[in-house]
Amino acid sequence: MSSALSFPDVFVNASDALNRDDISSSSAWLTTFRERHQQQLKQLTLPTRKTEDWRYSSRHLKMSDAIAKPLSTLTESALDESLVDLDGYLVVFVNGRFAADKSRLPSDASCTIKRFSELSDEEAKQVSEGISSDTSSLPFATINGACLADGIYISIPKNTKVEKPIQLHFHAEGEGTTTPRVYLVAEQGSEATLIEEFSGSTQTELLTASVTDIQLNAQAELRYIRLNTEAEQLSHIGLTQVNQNRDSRFKSFCMGLGGPVRRHDLKIKLLEPGAECSLDGVCITLGQQHYDNHTEIEHISAHCQSDESYRCIAGGSSHIVFNGRIMIHRDAQKTLGAMSNKNLLLTSKAEIDSKPELEIYADDVKCAHGTTIGQLDEEELYYLVTRGISPDHAATILTLGFVNELVQKIPNESIKERTEARLESLVKSAFQED
């Protein structure tokens, strides 16, 4: 991708290229939301090595005018090959357009799932007030807002346990930019599982700029699974923001596969006492791929707890970044926080940059963080080989064992089995190439 054009030059007029049918169906609040982000976009610049949050990844970041265009309508056969129905509630977007014939929305009162363009005035106000309007530090979230044609609103009623998983599938192919947007609010005492899956393949320049906002009210619990598993030619820069109120629970598993430039920001705010979050993630890159994990947990209130564990595997000449930050505010006494990042290099040319951070302003807290970067243990490899296992198979067993602990915690059996199979295939191919 050429970087001859500046950041605003590429995207500032992107709304003019949006599908006119999508624009005409937009509600007034959505039009206002989009226009506000278009104005913000004019003030932004492309991140460089001097941009602290992009210091390890800016060299992979190149934009061209080819991606500032809408994606064309996609044939159904391409989607059918990538969509695995989990037999729950299903929302499908194809190249940024809602696919009603592929979706399966709730017919009862267990939850509400609606398009942004169909929201009532009260629901639109809830979304507008729940989404942060300041995205100056997150330029691709601004792109999402400036180019947004529609999104998905999910509401879990008070004291309701949604038994079926809520599956969101975003598929993209062609040349251009797609901007998935999700807003979920879980009312007091509710419980649900949200699965976000991104798929697609292309031989052209395609960027996904996704944003998900989650509001957890008192005693709500959400299990969140995010699968960045598109074909390696696609670029994807995504943001997930979570606000947690009193005694709420947030448990996430994020799987990331590498591409030209891939990044996921996961930002958690523990706003009231008793809130807890558990963040698990697995990332693998091969060849020339890149993936950047950025996590931030803000302990704003006292008596909150966070636990984070990410494991990354880099092969070939690929590059992985992990930047995890825990910030404990002055009033966040009695905080418990733990962060672990373990990394495995499969070759001498692969690169992993790990940057765990603790920023503590309270004096009565228990926090720990740690990171390791290493290679497969030669003695363990030797032990398996002497038992009649081939060297490649032995290396595959040990590599999969490195992430198995986190994979086994995935709260959906179908997703767990698919993840295990995908990781095994990728790891095998890594050692076959070497």
pLDDT for res 395? 94
How many whole angstroms separate alpha carbon 15 and alpha carbon 314? 37
> pLDDT tens digit string along 300-358?
999 999 999 999 999 999 999 999 999 999 999 999 999 999 999 999 999 999 999 99
pLDDT for res 5? 44
Task: Give phi and psi for 260, each to the nearest 5.
Answer: -55, -50
Using alpha carbons, list the distances in angstroms from residue 330 to 244, 245, 274, 333, 361: 18, 18, 17, 7, 5
Residue 24 pLDDT level (bands cut at 50, 70, 90): very low
CA quadruple 381, 385, 391, 397: dihedral sign: negative
Retrieve residue 273's tokens.
Answer: 């006492």
Reply yes or no on whether the pLDDT at 16 is more than 60. no
Q: Residue count of the chain, please give it.
A: 434
pLDDT for res 44? 78
Residue 136 pLDDT level (bands cut at 50, 70, 90): low
Reply yes or no on whether the pLDDT at 107 is more than 80. yes
What is the percentage of the chain residues whose pLDDT exceeds 70? 89
In this prediction, residues 94-112 reach a mean pLDDT of: 89
Reply yes or no on whether the pLDDT at 181 is more than 90. yes
pLDDT for res 432? 75
Using alpha carbons, list the distances in angstroms from residue 65 to 14, 150, 237, 266, 284: 10, 22, 17, 28, 29
pLDDT for res 137? 66
C-alpha angle 172/91/88, rounded to 5°? Answer: 130
Q: Which residues have a Cβ under 8 Å from the Cβ of 81 and sit 6 or more positions away? A: none
pLDDT for res 20? 42
How many whole angstroms separate alpha carbon 355 and alpha carbon 173? 34
The DSSP code sequence of 375-392 is ---HHHHHHHHHTT--HH
Residue 256 pLDDT level (bands cut at 50, 70, 90): very high
> pLDDT tens digit string along 352-387?
999 999 999 999 999 999 999 999 999 999 999 999
pLDDT for res 54? 87
In this prediction, residues 46-62 reach a mean pLDDT of: 83
Say if CB 179 and CB 141 are below 8 A apart.
no
Residue 264 pLDDT level (bands cut at 50, 70, 90): very high
What is the percentage of the chain residues whose pLDDT exceeds 90? 64
> pLDDT tens digit string along 214-230?
999 999 999 999 999 88
pLDDT for res 19? 45
